[in-house]
C-alpha cells in the first residue's frame, strides 16, 4: 500500500523538515530544512530551502532561496529567486528576477524580467526580452534577444540561429532609453549558423550567414556563405572561410 503524501503549508513564520510532500505552499516566512521532493512549490512570501528542491511545478511570486539545485518540469518566477547551484527544467519563465550561481539547463527558457547566471545556459530555445548576464556559454538551437533598458552581457554564444534586435518602443520612450541607458548586447565570441545582429559589441563573430546591423561594433567576422553589414555598423575585418 502506497503511503499518501501530505501537503505542507507555512502561512506565518516557521520551519519544516524536508522530505516528500504533495503540494508545498509558503505564504509567510518559511524555511525547509534539507532536500524537498513534491508535486508543486508555491511561494508567495519568503522561502528558503536548504537542500535540493525537486517538483513538477514551481511558482515563485515572493522571494525564494534554494541552497542547492532547483529541478522541475515548469518553473515560473514572478518575484525573485536565487539558487546556489544548477537549475533544470523543461519550461523556465523569468518574469521577475532570477540569480543562478550555477548553470541553467532547460528546453524552453524565456526571460521578460532580469536573469543572472554565473555558469552556462543550455536550452533548445532561449528568448530574452529583459537584460541577461551569463558568465559562461549560452547555447541553444534558437536564440532571440530583444534589447531594452540595461545592457546584456554574455561571454560566449553558440547557436543554430541568433537574432539580436532592439525592442520596439514609442518614439518618446525610445529617446528616454537612449538618454539614460545603453541597449546593447556585449559578448566575447558568437558562433552559429545564421546570425543577425543589431546593437551588439563582440570580439569575434563566426557563422555561415552573418548580418551585422546598425549599432554593432565587431572585431572580426568569419563567414562561409553570406555576409552583410549596415552602414551604421563597425567591423574591423571580415573574412570568408
pLDDT in tens, 114-147: 999 999 999 999 999 999 999 999 999 999 999 9
Give how many domains the chain has, as a whole number.
2
Q: Are residues 149 and 211 in the same domain?
A: yes
Q: Are residues 84 and 127 in the same domain?
A: no
The overall longest dimension of the chain from CA atoms, in Å, is 72
84, 69 contact by CB (below 8 A):
no
Give tens-digit pLDDT for 145-172: 999 878 999 999 999 999 999 865 444 4
Going from the C-alpha of 30 to that of each of 40, 50, 164, 239, the distances in angstroms are 16, 11, 40, 57
Among residues 74, 102, 130, which one ends one of the domains?
102
Q: Are residues 57 and 159 in the same domain?
A: no
Q: Are residues 61 and 172 in the same domain?
A: no
Find residue 60's DSSP bridge partners: 43, 77
Q: Are residues 93 and 187 in the same domain?
A: no
Residue 145 lies in a domain: yes
Euclidean distance between CA atoms 102 and 157, whole angstroms: 17
Q: Are residues 125 and 222 in the same domain?
A: yes
Q: What is the per-residue pLDDT for 3? A: 57
Residue 71 lies in a domain: yes
The residues, any chain, with a CB within 8 Å of residue 112's CB and separated by 6 or more, are 93, 94, 95, 129, 130
Q: Are residues 55 and 153 in the same domain?
A: no
Q: Are residues 90 and 180 in the same domain?
A: no
25, 6 contact by CB (below 8 A):
no
Give tens-digit pLDDT for 84-110: 999 999 999 999 999 999 999 999 999
Per the prediction, the chain carries an average pLDDT of 93
Q: What percent of the chain has pLDDT over 90?
A: 88
Residue 111 lies in a domain: no
Q: Are residues 192 and 217 in the same domain?
A: yes
Domain encompassing residue 155: 117-241
Among residues 102, 136, 164, which one ends one of the domains?
102
Q: Are residues 234 and 141 in the same domain?
A: yes
Q: Are residues 68 and 129 in the same domain?
A: no
Residue 57 lies in a domain: yes
Q: Are residues 137 and 240 in the same domain?
A: yes
pTM of the model: 0.91
> Which of 9-13, 105-109, 123-127, 203-207 is predicted with the least confidence, judged by mean pLDDT?
9-13
Amino acid at each position: 500500500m502506497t503511503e499518501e503524501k501530505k501537503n505542507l503549508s507555512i502561512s506565518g513564520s516557521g520551519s519544516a523538515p524536508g522530505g516528500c510532500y504533495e503540494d508545498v505552499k509558503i505564504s509567510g516566512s518559511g524555511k525547509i530544512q534539507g532536500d524537498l521532493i513534491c508535486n508543486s512549490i508555491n511561494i508567495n512570501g519568503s522561502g528558503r530551502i536548504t537542500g535540493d528542491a525537486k517538483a513538477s511545478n514551481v511558482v515563485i511570486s515572493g522571494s525564494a532561496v534554494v541552497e542547492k539545485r532547483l529541478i522541475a518540469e515548469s518553473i515560473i518566477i514572478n518575484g525573485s529567486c536565487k539558487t546556489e547551484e544548477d537549475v533544470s527544467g523543461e519550461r523556465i519563465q523569468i518574469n521577475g528576477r532570477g540569480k543562478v550561481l550555477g548553470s541553467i539547463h532547460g528546453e524552453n527558457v524565456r526571460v521578460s524580467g532580469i536573469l543572472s547566471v554565473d555558469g552556462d545556459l543550455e536550452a533548445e530555445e532561449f528568448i530574452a526580452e529583459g537584460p541577461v548576464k551569463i558568465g559562461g556559454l549560452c547555447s541553444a538551437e534558437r536564440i532571440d534577444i530583444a534589447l531594452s533598458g540595461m545592457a546584456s552581457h554574455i561571454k560566449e554564444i553558440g547557436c543554430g540561429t541568433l537574432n539580436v534586435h532592439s525592442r520596439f518602443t514609442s518614439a518618446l520612450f525610445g529617446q528616454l532609453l537612449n538618454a539614460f541607458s545603453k541597449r546593447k548586447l556585449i559578448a566575447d565570441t558568437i558562433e552559429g549558423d545564421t546570425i543577425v545582429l543589431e546593437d551588439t559589441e563582440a570580439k569575434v563573430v563566426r557563422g555561415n550567414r552573418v548580418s551585422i546591423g546598425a549599432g554593432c561594433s565587431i572585431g572580426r567576422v568569419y563567414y562561409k556563405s553570406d555576409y552583410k553589414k549596415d552602414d551604421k555598423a563597425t567591423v574591423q575585418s571580415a573574412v570568408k572561410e
